[in-house]
Amino acid sequence: MVETRGIRTEWELLEATRLSLEVFGGDGVEASVQRKVRRILAHPSYHPEHVRVRVADGRIVAHLVVIERVMRVGAAEWRMGGIGGVCTAPDYRHQGHATALLKDALEFMREAGMDVTLLQGISNFYNRLGYAVVWPETYLSIPLADARDLPADRAYTIRPVAKRDIPALARLYDEAWRLRPGALVRKKEHWRWFLETSSPMWLAVGRKRRVQGYIVASGHAPNEVIELVAANAGSAYALVRHVAEVTPQDVEEMRILAARDDPLVSWLRRACRVKVVERTVPTGGWMARFVNLISAMRKLQDELSARFLRSQMQDWRGRVNLVTDLGTVGLFCRYGRVVVKEVEPTAGMTCRIPQDRLMQLILGFRTIYDVAEDPDVSVPEVARPLLHTLFPPTASYIAGLDRF
C-alpha cells in the first residue's frame, strides 16, 4: 500500500529530513539531521501537515515541504505556498512518487485556502503540473579587488546583527521590497528565525547610531552575498567592502543576489566594474502557478484599480473575460476602477489564457503582446492595450533570506 500524507510523528520528520540530506548531497550524519530538524521545527509557519510524504513498503520514499508565506504583488497580498525539498529515494524514482506528492500538495494548499504556489525547480518537470517561470535568477558580479577598493566612509560602522536590531532590519527591508512583485511579507518571527538559523549578517550604522543597511553572506561560499539592503550608496559601499575584506584572498569575484533594477546596481556602477547576470531556463528555475484562481484575482482588485487609474486608459469602460483552465474571471472597468468577479464568458471581450501564462503576466515576466503569440492563447487585439496597462512588465524577485 502507498500513502500520501503529512507526517505524523517526530520520527517521520527525522526520516524525511534524512532522505532530503541524502538526496541533496548532505553528509547524512545524525548531527546534521538533528540540526536541520531543529531548523524546520523553529520555522514560524511549521506544522506537521506541511511536511508531505509518500510512504511505500513501510518507509518514506518521497518528501516535500510546504512553506506558507504571504507574497506581495504591489499593494496586494497573496497567501503563498512555497514548495521546497522535493526528493525521492534513488531506488523509488521514475515510479510517479514525486508527481503524486506534488498533486497532493496542490490539493492540500487548495483546501488550506492558499492562493498561489512558488518553487525553484528543475527543467521539464514542474511545467507539466501547471508551473511557469516567473522571474530570472539575477546577480551582480564584481571583481573582488574592486570591492575591496570601494570608498571607505568613516561615517559608517560595521558590526554583527543582534536581536535588538530587528525593528531596524524590518524597516529597511520593507522600504526596499514592499512594492516589488514576488517579495514576501516578513513578520518579527521571521526575522528571529533568520537570525537564529541563517548565515552571517552585518549592519552599517551611520550618524546618530541609525542603521543604514545590512548584508547577509552565504554560509557556503564566502564571496556570495544572498541579501543586501542599503539606504544609500555610502552604506552599500561600506557593507560590500566589509564582506570583500573578510573573503579569502584567492577568490576573484563577488556575487550579490539582486533584481536588475535594484538601486544597488547604479550605486556600484559609479564606483567599480559591475556585470549584471540574468539566467533563465524555459521550463525551470523560479516557477509559480495559481492554487485558488478566483481568490487570488479578487485580492488583486485594488492594485489593478490603482494601475488603471494612473494610466491613460482610465476613462475606458467595458468588460474583459479571462478564460483559464481554472475558471473565468471578469474585469469590469468603469469610473477609473477595476472590479474582479467570477463570471461566465457570456458578454464582453473574451481572452483565453491558460493560468500559467496569466501568472507570468501578473508577475510581469512576459507582456500580453508576447503571451498572445502562444498557440493556445487567444486575445483580441482591442483588449491588449488594457491588459498591458493592468499587467505591465516588471522585475519581480524574491529576497535571498526568503528562499527555500
pLDDT (average), residues 20-39: 86
* pLDDT computed for residue 16 by the predictor: 97
Amino acid at 157: T
DSSP 8-state symbol, 311: S
Residue with cell 512594492: 179
Measured distance CA(72)–CA(140) in Å, rounded: 24
Name the average pLDDT for the chain. Answer: 96
Q: What is the DSSP string of 43-102?
A: STT--GGGEEEEEETTEEEEEEEEEEEEEEETTEEEEEEEEEEEEE-GGGTTSSHHHHHH
DSSP 337-355: EEEEEE--SSSSEEEE--H
What is the reported pLDDT for 380? 98
Q: Could you give the CA distance from residue 375 to residue 118 in angstroms, rounded to a whole number?
A: 25
Question: Mean of the pLDDT values across residues 174-201?
Answer: 96
- CATH class given for the domain over 2-135+282-287: alpha beta
Give CA–CA dist 60/5, Å, rounded. Answer: 11
In three-state secondary structure terms, 401 is: helix
Task: Please give the share of the chain, as a percent, with pLDDT higher than 70.
Answer: 99
Q: What are phi and psi for residue 215, nearest 5 degrees?
A: -140, 145
> How many whole angstroms separate alpha carbon 308 and alpha carbon 302?
10
Q: Of the ranges 20-29, 90-99, 198-207, 390-399, which one carries the lowest mean pLDDT score?
A: 20-29
pTM attached to this predicted model = 0.95
Q: Where are the domains of the chain?
A: 2-135+282-287, 138-279, 292-390
What end-to-end distance do the CA atoms of the chain give, in Å? 31
Position 28 confidence tier, pLDDT thresholds 50, 70, 90: low
Instruction: Tell me the Cα Rg of the chain.
Output: 23
Tell me the pLDDT tens digit for each residue of 138-157. 999 999 999 999 998 899 99
pLDDT of 219 strictly over 90: no
Closest CA to 65 of 114, 137, 16, 112: 16
pLDDT digits (tens, 9 = 90+) for 369-399: 999 999 999 999 999 999 999 999 999 999 9
Q: In the structure grid, which three cell numbers stand for residue 120, read together?
A: 525553484
pLDDT band at 31 (very low <50, low <70, confident <90, very high): confident
What are the backbone angles phi and psi of residue 76, rounded to the nearest 5°?
Answer: -85, 155
Whether 312 has a pLDDT exceeding 90, the answer reads yes
For the chain, the residue count is: 404
CATH topology of domain 292-390: Nonspecific Lipid-transfer Protein; Chain A (3.30.1050)
Contact 254, 240 (CB under 8 A): yes
Q: What pLDDT was estimated at residue 30?
A: 84
User: For residue 25, which phi and psi values (nearest 5 degrees)?
Assistant: 90, 15
pLDDT tens, residue by residue, 75-132: 999 999 999 999 999 999 999 999 999 999 999 999 999 999 999 999 999 999 999 9
Q: Is the model's pLDDT at 26 over the cut of 90?
A: no
Q: What average pLDDT does this structure show over 353-358?
A: 99
Over residues 255-268, mean pLDDT:
98
Please determine whether the domains at 2-135+282-287 and 138-279 fall in the same fold group of CATH.
yes
- Superfamily for domain range 138-279: Gcn5-related N-acetyltransferase (GNAT) (3.40.630.30)
CB 144 within 8 A of CB 251: yes
Helix (H) or strand (E) holding 319: strand 318-324
pLDDT at 27: 64
